[in-house]
Amino acid sequence: MIRVLPNVLSAAELQAVRELLPQVRFGDGRITNPDSSVKQNLQAPQEDPANARIAQIARDALMRYPELRVFAQPRTMARTTVVRYEPGMNYGWHVDEALFPSTPPMRSDLSCTVFLNEPGDYDGGELTIQLGAQELSYKLEPGSAILYPSTTIHRVTPVTRGVRLAAITWLQSWVADSGQRELLVQLEEARALAASGGDRQRLQVLLESLRTNLFRMWADT
């Protein structure tokens, strides 16, 4: 499931990131995907000190974000990388690698982009995700993020004006199966609604969905 995470970074964190961004020494993005014929962007080397500080800020912010815990059930998060797209740059249709060569190797279940600069700073540069025959495009406010399944085909459309800056990362979930993970998301929403005495119709629909989909999963045909 694709989820927008508004205001992941606080105003103070965003300000700190803004001050660090000019210090990042970007290199060719193909360094981590040498075989890619569609990747045309710039990315910070992992050892870059400004990248490492931005990565820590983004990681702390994501890890404390309550909805991320609900949506992703994160077990491991890859090191965040700052990426930069200048006019003419893009990242064509692709699927993210299944495994990251960390020790131990990490499976990518969810991909995450934290947008770092204003949407008005650039034209193009949408993150577009295929959902069947549909395409969903995202260009978010700085400090907001999008979380999407790493199984999806997606791209960053060409930037035609200005510069797009983002921090990207990947997560391995405690729950590998996205259908099972989604049941837990609904269960958590239902639990919160029951605890608060909120929207009873929504609670009813959630419980019905959980019962039906668990039965579908367990029915012996």
List residues bridging with 214 in a β-sheet.
none
d(CA 201, CA 203): 5
Size of the site for ligand AKG (CB under 6 A): 9
- Residue 151 or 204: the one with the smaller Cβ distance to Fe ion is 151
Question: What does 156 interact with, of ligand AKG, Fe ion, none (CB < 5 to 8 A by kind)?
Answer: ligand AKG
CB atoms under 10 Å from CB of 42, counted, come to 19
Amino acid identity, position 46: Q
Please provide residue 156's backbone torsions phi and psi, each rounded to the nearest 5 degrees.
Answer: -115, 120
- Residue 151 or 160: the one with the smaller Cβ distance to Fe ion is 151
- Least gap, CB of 213 to Fe ion (angstroms): 29
Binding ligand AKG by CB under 6 A: which of 44, 127, 129, 140? 127
Residue nearest Fe ion, Cβ-based: 96
Binding Fe ion by CB under 5 A: which of 96, 109, 127, 170? 96
Q: Greatest CA span in the chain, whole angstroms? A: 60
- Least gap, CB of 103 to ligand AKG (angstroms): 21
Q: Residues 54, 126: contact at Cβ < 8 Å?
A: no
d(CA 64, CA 202): 27
Q: Rule CB under 6 A: is residue 139 a binding residue for ligand AKG?
A: no
Binding site for ligand AKG (CB under 6 A): 83, 91, 96, 113, 127, 154, 156, 166, 168
